[in-house]
Amino acid sequence: MSKIDGSGKRCIAAAYLEDVETIVRELDSDTRAGLSSAQAQLRLSRDGANELRTQPVKPAWHYLLAQFRDPLVYLLLVAVAITLVTWLLVEGREWPVDAVVITLIVLANALLGFIQETRSQRAVAALAKLTQTTSSIIRDGVLSRIPSHQLVIGDLLVLSEGDSVGADARLIQANALRVLEASLTGESEAVSKNAVRLRIEVPLAERSNMVFKGTAIAQGSGLGVITAIGMATELGAIAHLLDVTPEEVTPLQKEVREIGRMLAIAVLVIASFVVVAVLMLTQIHSVDDVLRVLLLGVSLAVAAVPEGLPAVLSLVLAFGVQRMARNKAIIKQLSSVETLGSASVICTDKTGTLTRSEMTIQQTRTASGNVAVSGVGYAPQGQIHHQDQPMTCGPVHSENVLLLRGGSLAGNAALAQQEDGTWVIQGDPTEGAFLVAERKLDAPPRSIERFERVAEIPFTSDRKMMSALVIDHEHNDERLLISKGAPDVLLQHCTQVQVGMDVVPLTDDLRAKAVADVNELSGAALRTLSVAYRPLATSEDGAAGEALETGLIFIGTVGIIDPPRKEVAPAITEAHRAGIRIIMITGDHPRTATRIAEDLGIIQAGAGALTGADLDKLDDAALAEAVKSNSVYARVAPSHKLRIVDALQAQGHVVAMTGDGVNDAPALKSANIGIAMGITGTEVTKQAGKMILADDNFATIVLAIREGRGILDNIRKFLRYLLSSNMGEVLTVFLAVVGAGVIGLVDEKGGIILPLLATQILWINLITDAAPAIAMGIDPHSEDLMTRSPRRPTDRIIDARMWGGVLQVGLVMALASLLTVDWMLPGGLIAGNESLVEARTAGFTVLVLAQLFNALCARSESASALVGLFANRWLWGAIALATALQIAVVHWSPLNKAFDTSALTLSQWGLCLAMASAVFWFSELRKLGMRLHQGKAIRHQKLRFF
């Protein structure tokens, strides 16, 4: 039965036709203890990881070579090759220094690009690790959760609602298990599963005793033994389809690539113009002369075409995403960073996200009266008070004992005592609250053995209630159905009520009292849950499921306090200031929801809420109207979330939506940013979401939006820098050719003298491009980030105003550099008396220094460069490095030879610095003008309001 499949991995063929014992024996596993760790380790090394990957990972040299895959670089290398060949052919000629230097610079550039690319890849890979799926297994008899890629054949897989199935497994047990198999079979409805052996061969979709890798548990629970992993699974059989998912390109990356392409064309036209003009206007004596001009043209193109832009962009995005992960917001796709920056609405759950999910029962309401349960139920990290501390409760009625005990029995949580004597709640905090309150009762403790749980009708957010079937061993083995759930839901299943030791019919008056109790508790921001029960007839068993939940005896209601997280209210204020609407969507009672929403500042007092039932009555047009003003939705089912998202998106909103349960997955997928809860969220939601909130905390979403905005802001900063600097280089050469006569850049024979050499242009590109740009990409975020309105998704990253700035700054740079050359050379506008080498060195230095000044200015569109001048130490590091390298190129003789430069005097350095600083002064003046204009616009707006 066991076989080795094509990929070398073992699997059990047709496991659905075998009985469980045979399979478990064959796999040398155990239906209770599972495999031993040693066995698992051996199998992991024998069969490899449980992964679908089929394409080998590309080696590092592949990425290094890819750096040269650029037509301009080819052109440059061809020019260099021709230079070298002519040098080899003509004996006794001087070394072709230019060619060697250019080759070295091209190599250095490629190396820089390679480092950038591998770093950003490493950052993205590290993120993938944070979002890897996990599975519950039993090994050595112990239940634990491990990354799904570590699953081995023979492992016992424990399945519960919301789990993503990590491998193919034959079911050993199934409890109301329903599985979503759409990814494999295309069937959109969840299919029921059981552990019964099948006798005849059936297609995949009918293998009801198997679960398959890549599917999801929609409901219920189960236990299975893994029969196939990795490529041997059914999903593996179609993995070639999955493996070709193309590398993700974000809209921003697309836009930047487009800008790059456009600029490349512009630069190529200018470079060709320069080459043709110089060749036509200058006397050419040799092939060398032609080659030199060609080299200059191609170098200009290489330097000015922002070919490094996409790499810097992915690096900045990847760094940003890493920083977000450190702040507990795990982003799964780089594109979500952009979407986050544009988010205009956050739809959030209440419980656990806005509140602490530290549930303590504070009040009880039964037919016999009210009880205040005192004592803190929770200490911070989910611990409850020490057993010795006083646990008090008001006057105890028999209903109270029933209420709290019933609530405890109808749940799955447990209290576990730790080594230091403190107690912790294991499981759902709402259910744990019943256990804690029960311990506070001044009533005879129940023995653990008294009640035996034999079946469960599970809780879902749609049903909003759950039931347990228990046998009371101290009471003639009586079988009871105990239910707990949302009061309004549970009351519909009740026909009687417990009053003292008696059970009486639930009259309209008694029902009205119960509802009034609930309203009172929820009006005080308490979460309400009611408990009911009924003895079962001998003919009734758990197989009947939800049909059993009728004719229940209502016991009473508890009021649970779940305090808001303290960081949430300030985060909501910040979001509002940033033009982001907050909408609460909760399964809780409308009164509880509105009270908490008011307390947190989501709505104003008296604003009210819409319930799921209200939403059902609204058609799409009415809903579209309702979502404009309503910000609290209560008692909703997960399906309502989808409608709300759609209605908001139809109005042009960019929606961030949180979710935890498996049924939230469609809404999360549909939202622009689906946010899955990291702690309480199921695997399925985590897979559907684009972001995982590691701490389940609302404030982290606002933080992530701030970070997203900051990253976009920084991207604009380095684009502004790189484009204006490149513009400066192109314009310097272009204007030199066009205005050669005016500024004295002509030789005795009337030919054009170039202000820069090919090597110098490439040098500028090498030392001033990547490092300052990357440093700008990690610039500290500006103060006003969260006072601006959200960016519209249709907004271009570079708008007309920014293009204007790029052109103007580039022009100032070029003029400063050319005027310096003119200043030093005889003739032109300003007559000087220095040599051409010295003039070129000065012009070249001005261009480098002007770019460094520009680095300081490009950090903000309108704020002065002096604001937070020293905030970015990386930028200053990059500036210092570039300055040191420029000093070396001017004063170190080997570099003088390589770059055709000569030493400058101190006063010449002073001149260069002063000329280069024109960029700074110009930018400051331009920004001042902008600020004055903005101020006027704001004053204008204010005037209109008064």
Active site residues: 349
Binding pattern for the stretch 104-143 against ligand ATP, x by CB under 6 A and - elsewhere? ----------------------------------------
DSSP characters for 845-872? HHHHHHHHHHHHHTT-SSS-TTTTTTS-
Q: How far is the CB of 473 from ligand ATP (least distance, A)?
A: 24
Number of other CB atoms surrounding residue 18 within 10 Å? 19
* Per-residue mark of binding to ligand ATP, 396-425 (x: CB under 6 A): ---------------x--------------
Q: Which stretch binds ligand ATP (CB under 6 A): 302-310, 522-530, 837-845, 867-875?
A: 522-530
* From 23-31, 323-331, 484-492, 875-883, span contacting ligand ATP (CB under 6 A): 484-492
Cβ burial of 258 (10 Å; 0-12, 13-18, 19+) is exposed
Q: Is 362 in the site for ligand ATP (CB under 6 A)?
A: no
E-strand stretches of 306-464: 329-331, 345-348, 360-366, 369-372, 383-384, 414-417, 423-426, 451-457
How many Å apart are CA 673 and CA 633, to the nearest integer?
A: 19
User: E strand or H helix at 887, and its extent?
Assistant: helix 873-891
Give helix then strand counts, H and E, for the chain: 33, 29
SS3 assignment, position 136: strand
From candidates 342, 400, 430, 611, binder to ligand ATP by CB under 6 A: 430
- Among 320, 125, 155, 148, residue whose Cα is nearest residue 687: 148
Residue (139 or 464) nearer to ligand ATP, CB: 464
Between 107 and 679, whose beta carbon lies closer to ligand ATP? 679
Instruction: Please say which residue, 461 or 765, places its beta carbon nearer to ligand ATP.
Output: 461
846 burial type by CB count under 10 A (0-12 exposed, 13-18 middle, 19+ buried)? buried
Report the 3 state secondary structure along 161-182.
Answer: CCCECCCEEEEEEEEEEEEECH
Site string for ligand ATP, 292-331 (x = CB under 6 A): ----------------------------------------
Query: What residues from 331 to 360 belong to the interface with ligand ATP (CB under 6 A)?
Result: 349-351
**CB of 18 or CB of 588, closer to ligand ATP:** 588
Using DSSP, state whether 634 is helix, strand or coil.
strand
Residues 6+ apart with CB under 8 A from 297: 271, 272, 274, 275
Q: How far apart are the C-alpha atoms of 527 and 561, rounded to whole Å?
A: 6
Where do we find the tokens 């700054």? Answer: 809
Q: Of 180-188, 335-343, 446-454, 482-490, which part binds ligand ATP (CB under 6 A)? A: 482-490
Instruction: Compute the least distance from the CB of residue 633 to ligand ATP, in Å.
Output: 10
Give me the residue label for tokens 């019933």: 406
Q: Which stretch binds ligand ATP (CB under 6 A): 202-210, 582-590, 781-789, 872-880?
A: 582-590
Q: Do the beta carbons of residue 551 and residue 498 sit within 8 Å?
A: no
Q: Does 459 bind ligand ATP (CB under 6 A)?
A: yes
Task: For the beta carbon of residue 430, count every other beta carbon within 10 angstroms.
Answer: 21
Q: Which of 30, 428, 520, 646 binds ligand ATP (CB under 6 A)?
A: 428
Specify the residue, 47 or 431, whose C-beta has the smaller distance to ligand ATP.
Answer: 431
Q: Tokens at residue 527, please? A: 């979460």
* Single residue of 431, 456, 517, 549 touching ligand ATP by CB under 6 A: 431
Shortest distance in whole angstroms from residue 593 CB to ligand ATP: 8
- CA-CA distances (angstroms) from residue 317 to 254, 307, 332, 783, 861? 14, 17, 12, 20, 20
Contact with ligand ATP (CB under 6 A) among 39, 586, 860, 886: 586
Helical H segments across 94-213, by residue range: 97-130, 182-185
Residue nearest to ligand ATP (CB): 587
- The type of residue at 92 is G
Which range touches ligand ATP (CB under 6 A), out of 92-100, 491-499, 523-531, 665-673?
A: 523-531
| 484 belongs to the binding site for ligand ATP (CB under 6 A) | yes
Least distance in angstroms from the C-beta of 356 to ligand ATP: 12
- Name every residue whose Cβ is closer than 8 Å to that of residue 873 and which is 6 or more positions away in sequence: none
Cβ-proximal residues to 164 (8 Å cutoff; 6+ apart), any chain: 133, 135, 148, 214, 215, 216, 217, 683, 684, 687
Applying CB under 6 A, does 529 fall inside the site for ligand ATP?
Answer: yes
Q: How many CB atoms lie within 10 A of CB 726?
A: 25
Query: Quick one: 434 or 763, whose CB is closer to ligand ATP?
Result: 434
Question: Does 466 sit near ligand ATP (CB under 6 A)?
Answer: yes
Of 18, 163, 181, 588, which one interacts with ligand ATP (CB under 6 A)? 588
Nearer to ligand ATP, 250 or 663 (CB): 663
Name every residue whose Cβ is closer than 8 Å to that of residue 46 and which is 6 or more positions away in sequence: 10
Can residue 486 be called a binding residue for ligand ATP (CB under 6 A)? yes
Name the residue nearer to ligand ATP (CB basis): 340 or 657: 657
Q: How far is the CB of 343 from ligand ATP (least distance, A)?
A: 19
CA quadruple 443, 445, 451, 456: dihedral sign: positive
Residues in the chain: 946
Which is closer to ligand ATP, CB of 208 or CB of 680?
680
Rounded to whole angstroms, the Cα distance separating 843 from 915 reads 9
Nearer to ligand ATP among residue 557 and residue 768 (C-beta): 557
Binding segment for ligand ATP (CB under 6 A), chosen from 314-322, 375-383, 456-464, 569-577, is: 456-464
Question: How does DSSP classify residue 49?
Answer: -
Q: Do residues 44 and 152 make contact, with C-beta atoms less than 8 angstroms apart? A: yes
Smallest distance, ligand ATP to C-beta of residue 373, A: 17
Other beta carbons within 10 angstroms of residue 740's beta carbon come to 24
Other beta carbons less than 10 A from residue 132's beta carbon:
11
Which one of residues 493, 527, 595, 716 is an interface residue with ligand ATP (CB under 6 A)? 527
Site for ligand ATP in 753-792 (CB under 6 A): none
With the CA atoms of 522, 528, 534 and 540 taken in that order, what torsion angle do they form, in degrees rounded to the nearest 10?
Answer: 130
In angstroms, give the least distance from the CB of 527 to ligand ATP. 6
465 binds ligand ATP (CB under 6 A): yes
Please report whether residue 485 would count as binding ligand ATP according to CB under 6 A.
yes
Nearest-approach distance from CB 626 to ligand ATP, in angstroms: 19
Beta carbon of residue 221, minimum distance to ligand ATP (angstroms, whole number): 15
Q: Is 507 helix (H, G, I), strand (E, B) or coil?
A: coil
Q: Report, in Å, the least distance between residue 636 CB and ligand ATP.
A: 8
Nearer to ligand ATP, 165 or 561 (CB): 561
Comparing CA positions, the residue from 728, 710, 714 lying closest to residue 805 is: 728
Shortest Å distance, C-beta 529 to ligand ATP: 5
461 binds ligand ATP (CB under 6 A): yes
Which range binds ligand ATP by CB under 6 A, 461-469, 712-720, 733-741, 774-782?
Answer: 461-469
CB of 590 to ligand ATP, least distance (A): 10
- Among 34, 220, 406, 587, the residue binding ligand ATP under the rule CB under 6 A is 587
Pairing of strands 345-348, 581-585: parallel
| Residues 563, 358 contacting (CB under 8 angstroms) | yes
Stretch that binds ligand ATP, among 282-290, 544-552, 581-589, 777-785 (CB under 6 A): 581-589
C-beta separation of 179 from 190 below 8 A: yes
Tell me the closest approach of the beta carbon of residue 437 to ligand ATP, in angstroms: 14
Q: How many residues bind ligand ATP (CB under 6 A)?
A: 22
* Site of interaction with ligand ATP (CB under 6 A): 349-351, 411, 428, 430-431, 459, 461, 464-466, 484-486, 527-529, 586-589
